[in-house]
Amino acid sequence: MEHIGQLIRQELRRQERSVAWFARQLSCDRSNIYRIFQKESIDTYLLVRISIILQYNFFSTLSLLYRKANFIAKISLMLDYLFDC
């Protein structure tokens, strides 16, 4: 499953925005943006700010990814049970 940093990077690229632009919007250095791209988890307040800046609901995307992962895990358990019988 993709982590939040990857999702943020993908959305930034989709919008054809530069890292420098994004850093200015967040009032931080470009090096901090590259660190965000590496994060598997992120502070909620920061994610709200990023969502507003990019006008993209990352919370909705994360919720969908979580539901898909949870569904796949349940199917996997069911298959394990069926093949163990």
pLDDT of residue 69: 67
pLDDT of residue 62: 84
Burial of 75 per CB tally in 10 Å (0-12, 13-18, 19+):
exposed
pLDDT of residue 28: 97
pLDDT of residue 82: 72
Tell me the whole-structure pTM to 2 decimals: 0.77
pLDDT of residue 73: 66
pLDDT of residue 2: 82
CATH of the domain at 55: 1.10.260.40
Phi, psi dihedrals of residue 60, rounded to the nearest 5°: -65, -45
The number of distinct structural domains making up the chain is 1
pLDDT of residue 85: 60
Residues of the chain with pLDDT below 50 are none
**Which residue segment(s) compose the domain that 16 sits in?**
4-84
